[in-house]
Amino acid sequence: MPEMNKPAIIVLMPGALPMAQRLAACVGGEVHGAEGRVSDAQVRFAEVKPHVRDLFRQGRPIIALMASGAVIRLLAPLLDDKHSEPPVLAVAEDGSAVVPLLGGHHGANDLARQIAGELGIAPAITTAGDLRFGVALDQPPEGYRLANPDAAKAVMAELVAGGAARLNGKVPWLEASRLPFADNGRVTLTVTDAVKTPEALELVYHPKTLVLGMGCERHAPVEEAIALAEEALAKAGLARESLTAIASIDVKADERAVHAVAAHFGVPARFFPADRLEAETPRLKTPSDVVFAEVGCHGVAEGAALAAAGAQGELILPKIKSRGVTAAIARAPQVLEAQGFGRARGRLFVVGIGPGAEGWRSPEVSRMVEASTDLVGYSLYLDLLEGLADGKKRHDFDLGKEEARVVHAMELAGEGRTVALVCSGDAGIYAMATLVFELLDKGGISDAASRIEIAVSPGISALQAAAARAGAPLGHDFCTISLSDLLTPWEHIQRRVKAAGEGDFVIAFYNPVSLKRRTQLAYARDQLLTYRPADTPVILASNLGREGERVRVVPLGGLNVDDVDMLTVVVIGSSESRVVKTGDGRAWVYTPRGYSGKAGTGMKKEDVA
């Protein structure tokens, strides 16, 4: 479940934690606990008021193990539009009551029924439509869109007052309700995929039965594609709300225009291989040998629309075209789900989780991992995600085999999955992001994998973590150098160490030693001693942000290679770096922002923040 749809279970006291965990398991939620009181929560917050209000503003479902009145008072200043409010429920800490407070027709009533079933109680549902008719007319089920929600209040008032409804169209979910139907009913409930202006006391529902097929030249203008799609709907007199997806051939999976049209209508884009579209040739209205010679099927727009609509679907708007874009529309005999046909454009999130601890992991990275179907990475890094990895398919790799790891992630995404390639520290610093783009540049992956969507999200690097733990050693110019000669020739590393020494940079050494490689760090130490004093501070930081964390400060002249292991980051100060002790006896390393060679004090007024 995407994070923004995952209910947040709010718990304030440790005694209510077991109930919160039970509810989280029941609804696929996430436990949010008060900091200092509820230690075993997936998310911790310092103050309940701003946290709950932020969740509400984000549209996140909220299930609060709190008194109903307390929840109402927290959210009262934010209440203005019931059509946009997320579900908000209050549940008694002992599980004796569940009350949907807000968003009853937006999922709160359904959540209340689900929780009540788990707890063996009756939900306290009070919305009139649900109680009397067993249906929420302003919240149709998945696959239907209400065109005029503002009219729902008047319609419900008429029905609750004893009025009857006329039904235009065959709709199982309405027919199965307890609504009073009559041929002369003043209320009209219409279900159609056509554009329709509602009359008084009429609700118009648009079923998701249409698919717009689209073909285009490479790099077709976005504006042209959107204009043709709008023209296609207008020409057929069809409602945009009935669109289920935009469909095309798989070689267009990375085509900007296709995705722009999908975004314009708020629907997904789905793609089919050429042989699947070629199977639709007998049903095409405008087959083309030219198109076959180009992409291997006789029609992209019509073929994709029909393939998505299914064997019983019909082509209701044959291909129309502009200069570089084609469009066609097909209708299915029943409501469609985009997940049921074609494949999505795969997504690859290349994420840095920092040292691994939740507090040092960015919210963006957490959202990306949460949205992923598959996780790829070194086993230790995946383990560090803990509960965030629940429900995801793991693809564990041993340390090393970086290219195989990245290829696997990209190929999974090429199958239409959403994949998180998990790195420690920052994904772009001596990590997997570089390999992703190198494979795109030089090849070695399938065509499908080369068309995936890619997003890289930063994490706290070992360099930043070490600096923060030790003080502010990066206060002036700095650089990073990897001492591993597995991929970089040793003579190049030597040249970089000398250049950094001559430039008087603070230097962070990655991969300082390994089991077999023990001499490179000693070389770097001896080389740098020719450029800076022997008492230059050196930070040795191991297991940052994890159990066994250790941060030491030693002088450059006393740096012992045997004190460094593969999990240690070595930060060597410049000639300007200093050590200062605070009253508690702790030593901090910093590098002044100004140059000592400046006239006067070495600091200008404008240097002071």
Q: Which tokens sit at 357?
A: 């601890």
Encoded tokens for 187: 């209320």
Q: What is the pLDDT of residue 585?
A: 87
CA distance 11 to 64: 7
Domains and CATH numbers, the chain: 3-126 (3.40.50.11220), 144-207 (no CATH), 210-340 (3.30.420.180), 347-460 (3.40.1010.10), 463-590 (3.30.950.10)
Q: What is the pLDDT of residues 140-195, one digit of tens each?
A: 888 999 999 889 889 888 888 889 999 998 888 888 888 899 989 999 999 999 99
pLDDT class for 129, splitting at 50, 70, 90?
Answer: low
Q: How far apart are CA 51 and CA 99, in angstroms?
A: 21
Summarised one tens digit per residue, pLDDT across range 231-285 is: 999 999 999 999 999 999 999 999 999 999 999 999 999 999 999 999 999 999 9
Higher pLDDT, 567 or 377: 377
Give the whole-number percent of the chain exceeding pLDDT 70: 95
In 3D space, the residue among 379, 439, 429 whose CA is nearest the CA of residue 406 turns out to be: 439
Q: What is the mean pLDDT of residues 403-409?
A: 96
Alpha helices in 61-106 (DSSP H): 68-75
Phi, psi torsion values for 370, nearest 5 degrees? -60, -35
Q: Evaluate if residue 515 carries a pLDDT over 80.
A: no
Structure-token pair, residue 377: 């990475």
Asked if pLDDT for residue 100 goes beyond 50, the answer is: yes
The predicted model scores a pTM of 0.78
State the amino acid at position 80 in one-letter form: D
pLDDT of residue 230: 98
Rounded mean pLDDT of 349-370? 89
The pLDDT score that the predictor gives to residue 604 is: 36
Per residue in 462-506, pLDDT tens?
A: 999 999 999 999 999 999 999 998 889 999 999 999 999 999 999
For residues 318 and 208, give the distance between their C-alpha atoms in angstroms, rounded to a whole number.
19
How many C-beta atoms lie closer than 10 Å to residue 51's C-beta? Answer: 19
- Over residues 360-384, the mean pLDDT reads 92
Chain segment 284-303, per-residue pLDDT in tens: 999 999 999 999 999 999 99
CB-CB neighbours of 464 under 10 Å: 21
